[in-house]
Amino acid sequence: MKNDRIETEIEALGKSRVISPIENKDGKSVLKQPFITDKDGVLISVDARISRKMIELGEPLPAFEKAGPRRNIYFDPSKLRCAIATCGGLCPGLNDIIRAIVMQLFYGYGVKTIYGVQYGLQGFIPKYGHDIIDLVPEVVEDILDMGGSILGSSRGPQDIDEVVDCLERMNIGILFMVGGDGTMKAASKIADVITKRGLKISVVGIPKTIDNDIYLVARSFGFDTAVDVATVAIKGASKEAEAYPNCIGLVKLMGRHSGFIAATAALAQQDVNYVLIPEVEFDLDGPSGLLATLEKRLKARGHAVIVVAEGAGQKFFDHSGDAKDKSGNVILKDIGIFLKVKIGEYLKAKNMEYSIKYIDPSYMIRSLPANANDSVFCGFLGRDAVHAGIAGKTKVIIGHWNNQFVHVPMAASIGKRKSVLPGDKLWQTVLESTGQGSLVNG
């Protein structure tokens, strides 16, 4: 990562001239923490070698703007209207985000008009006829234990001009969008049209991906819950494998392009013998391929556990004429079923007794409520999103970096992806834990 090339400046709608009601409530601040200023930063790199080199070159150390409440804000909360939309796939923590935004707006700043836009971007388009939900504390106070999103979601592009038309009609001042990379791209386009029209509407993104692969975001909400539940699936696969002769527990987990869930869950439940992720190639056939090494493992130990990320091994499929979902993502071929068939064919040809227990908990994980860690994390994200929007920040996402919550420009993050690096500690520890070695011939 070239830190000196990362854009960190955050756009704003204008000067912040309104004194925050947080400070004025009862004549004193209700916060125990000091207000944050735009000069408060979080270093992008904590590598001492990089920092020393930049200091020697006379270059400023790049830092993200720190998230949190500002003493001076842009909007007058008593006249402000806000909207919240959740887009894309489901993820644990969506309701936690919604609740945190509503509670902070209502009680923290005194904003009384908060709209929930149903079914993602469709909710802004008249032809779909989706109703708007008035979000008040009574509506959201008990939603933490509910999975999914009380606002619903949808995939696929919508006309950006129609979205902005709707924002104008509703007199929205801040739009909060919760979603993945496609949603953040749409949010950036919405903000561009808003700027082109000369409107004063803040667009704040809260990045969502259960895969934890958002660029310049160290941790995304829902990931902790996903690892928790994936660990339970691995425990089940391990016990099944131990119970039968030459039994293989095969678990397919989320991870279209990045194997963070598979790698982390394997370390959390160290009964796994093989971890297959999109970032690391593996062969099926040949002396070092998965099938031959699995055969040796079964002969030596009598059972095995394999964890595979959904995007691994796509090289084994014909991708000509691949279909795409409504968000434009290529619909991946099912590596889990593929491996189950190939392993079965191989062991049958070797006249080996075997059984395969296949587990795919993907959709169950996506729709679950957040666990305790994720719920707390979502609360921070939602409240900091409100602080950013009220201060007039726009085209910004709320991220987590070096154990701090920060403002990241949308342009710096969208269209890029964080991946497991084969040379880094996470993957090297997976190799140490599993002992699988390289599964590539030659």
Q: Which two tokens stand for residue 89?
A: 């796939």
Helices (H) and strands (E) in the chain, counts: 14, 17
| Level-2 CATH architecture, domain 223-367+422-434 | 3-Layer(aba) Sandwich (3.40)
Distance between CA 148 and CA 143 in Å, rounded? 10
Active site residues: 211
Sheet holding 63-66, edge to edge: 41-43, 63-66, 404-409, 396-401, 202-207, 174-179, 81-86, 113-117, 132-134
**16-25, 129-138, 309-318, range with the lowest pLDDT:** 16-25
What pLDDT sits at residue 332? 86
Q: Which two tokens stand for residue 433?
A: 């834990």
Distance between CA 165 and CA 178 in Å, rounded? 20
Look up residue 105 and give its DSSP letter.
Answer: I
Helical packing angle, 335-349 and 290-301, nearest 10°? 60
Distance between CA 380 and CA 221 in Å, rounded? 10
**Intervals of CATH 3.40.50.460 along the chain:** 223-367+422-434
CATH of 3-220+369-413, one of 3.40.190.10, 3.40.50.300, 3.40.50.450, 3.40.50.740: 3.40.50.450
Q: Is the pLDDT of residue 238 over 50?
A: yes
Of all helices (H) and strands (E), which one includes residue 409? strand 404-409
Q: Can you give the pTM of this predicted structure?
A: 0.92
Residue pair 232/261 in contact by the 8 Å Cβ criterion: no
Look up residue 61 and give its DSSP letter.
Answer: P
In 74-173, where do the E strands start and end? 81-86, 113-117, 132-134
Q: Which amino acid is at 203?
A: V
**Intervals of CATH 3.40.50.450 along the chain:** 3-220+369-413
With bands split at pLDDT 50, 70 and 90, how would you rate the model's confidence at 50?
low
pLDDT in tens, 287-344: 999 999 999 999 999 999 999 999 999 999 987 777 767 666 777 889 999 999 999 9
pLDDT in tens, 140-183: 999 999 999 999 999 889 999 999 999 999 999 999 999 999 99
